[in-house]
Amino acid sequence: MTDSRPTLTVSQLTRQARGLLEECFPAVWVEGELSGLSTPGSGHWYFTLKDDEAQVSCSMFRRQNIRVRTPVTNGMQVLVRGKISLYEPRGQFQLIIEHLEDAGLGALQRAFEALKAQLQAEGLFAQARKRPLPKLPRHIGVVTSPTGAAIHDIITVLRRRFPAMRITVFPTLVQGESAPRHIVAAIERANRLGSQLDIPLDLLIVGRGGGSLEDLNAFNQEIVARAIAASHLPVVSAVGHEVDITIADLVADARAATPSAAAELVSPDRGEWLASIRYQQQRLLRQWQHQHHNRQQHLDWLSRQLRHPGEQLQRQRDTVQGLAQRLHNGLQQALRNRQHQVSTLRAHCLQHNPAATLRQIRQHVRQQQQQLLQQMRNHQQRCQWQLASQAQLLNSLSPLATLGRGYAIVRDQQHAILRSGKTLAAGDTISARLAEDTLHCTINRITPNKD
């Protein structure tokens, strides 16, 4: 008997479903957020269009997407026109896009604008609360990824411009869902430890390299903005490239377009400082030469004013000797000052010698070892005492101890322990174990206990 029910193959089913979809929806306009963008070598675009409750797969072929002039990125809100279809090999519902345009800033951009308006209303962007940066910082903290290009750029610029400046990196994630918490923790750790270092921190650089709005999203979070605002160290924000503005940029005391620009901003130019020092040296030398020349001219004038050669000569000699003595004293004093400065710097270097710190650490380790050994001995004594107590308790509960107090264990001929004489009769043989011996007995009479 043949089955009369109509039967379709899977390909026939998907082909008919595709025909119905394309017939019922010839062209539709759809607005949503673009995500999961894929641009393979074929030139076609594949992405997902979604809102808060649903999503649909989309395809836009190369001959259509080459006409799109707006840069397409994940997270942007777009308006598209296309045809409903079905991808037959997978039976997947999809939208074939013919036209795409920017429909707004997208969810991330809207969240950015909302947070920006909120913090601006609270006054966190106000210029009055921004602190000036130190002109010559000795120690800079950097909150960024230890493996990114940003830290390399910052260190390269600082080493080039002012090698004497000290740098401490507070590593953190700069991208992903957990990145905001890591950034906040790094800023708080820098503020907590900054004053405890031998050279206290003067300011912080917080940043990363450039990227899309999604890549920079960690620096557009409220907790990061409030951590920057609460920092007692001045903060320079260095997030992204020149076109990227984040909430962190607006809250920070200063903003640099790139991490390299931040390093330029906070560091003095070594060449300018050396040039200034050389200029001051030359200026001092010219002033000394000018003064020396004036004194020499004055001396010459006095020489020409001599009336009584002997007296004038002696007076001039005294003057010259006084000037020479003053010059000598001045040079000696300058030399002593320089020697004192050298001694002070040498003492400062000796004071900060790591050997003293290493000795303290070794002494602390020895103390900890002694304390650990003492604790181990105390623990061993407690364990021994507990073992002795348990052994004493076990011995008190032992049947042998009961036998030692005058009791006996009585067994019948089958070696079963007897608790009653009901199973015995006169003439039966029993054994009674005492503490030291075992008695083998014959029963003469059985008398029941009256109590």
pLDDT of residue 203: 94
Give CA angle at 149 (219, 215), nearest 5°.
30
| CATH class of this structure's domain 10-107 | mainly beta
Pick the residue with more confidence: 404 or 220? 220
Q: What is the mean pLDDT of residues 299-312?
A: 72
Q: Is residue 433 scored above 70 in pLDDT?
A: yes
pLDDT of residue 27: 82
Give yes or no for a contact between 127 and 255, defined as CB atoms under 8 angstroms apart.
no
CA atoms within 13 A on the CB side of 342: 6
Query: Average pLDDT over the chain, rounded to whole?
Result: 85
Cα separation, 349 vs 18, whole angstroms: 82
The confidence score (pLDDT) of residue 184 equals 96
- How far is it, in rounded angstroms, from Cα 76 to Cα 55? 15
pLDDT digits (tens, 9 = 90+) for 224-275: 999 999 999 999 999 876 566 899 999 999 999 889 999 999 988 777 777 7
- Look at residue 105 and tell me whether its pLDDT is greater than 60: no
One-letter amino acid of 65: N
Residue 409 has what pLDDT?
83
Residue extents of the structural domains in the chain = 10-107, 121-268, 275-325, 404-442
The closest of 250, 262, 257 to 220, measured between CA atoms, is 250
Percentage of residues of the chain with pLDDT beyond 90 = 29
CATH topology of domain 121-268: Rossmann fold (3.40.50)
**Domains 10-107 and 121-268 alike in fold:** no
Mean pLDDT of 207-224: 85
Q: Residue type for 355, please?
A: A
How large a percentage of the chain has pLDDT more than 70? 94
> Which range in 152-166, 178-192, 265-279 is most confidently predicted, on average pLDDT?
178-192
Which residue did the predictor score with more confidence, 349 or 61?
61
Mean pLDDT of all residues in 367-376: 89
14 pLDDT above the threshold of 80: no
Flag whether pLDDT at 355 surpasses 80. Answer: no
For range 334-339, the mean pLDDT = 88
pLDDT score, position 235? 96
Q: Which of 68-82, 152-166, 176-190 has the lowest mean pLDDT?
A: 68-82
- 186 pLDDT tier (thresholds 50, 70, 90): very high
pLDDT at residue 273, as a whole number: 75
Residue 240 exposed, middle or buried by CB count within 10 Å (0-12, 13-18, 19+): buried
What are the tokens at 71? 């840069």
pLDDT higher than 70, residue 180: yes
In the predicted model, what is the mean pLDDT of residues 335-364?
81
Residue 118 pLDDT class (50, 70, 90 cuts): very high
Please, are residues 65 and 82 in contact by the beta-carbon 8 Å criterion? Answer: no
Flag whether pLDDT at 119 surpasses 70.
Answer: yes
- For every residue of 100-161, DSSP letters joined together read EEEEESHHHHHHHHHHHHHHHHHTTT-GGGPPPPPSS-SEEEEEE-TTSHHHHHHHHHHHHH
User: How much is the pLDDT for 63?
Assistant: 92
Q: What is the pTM of this model?
A: 0.46
pLDDT at 254: 94
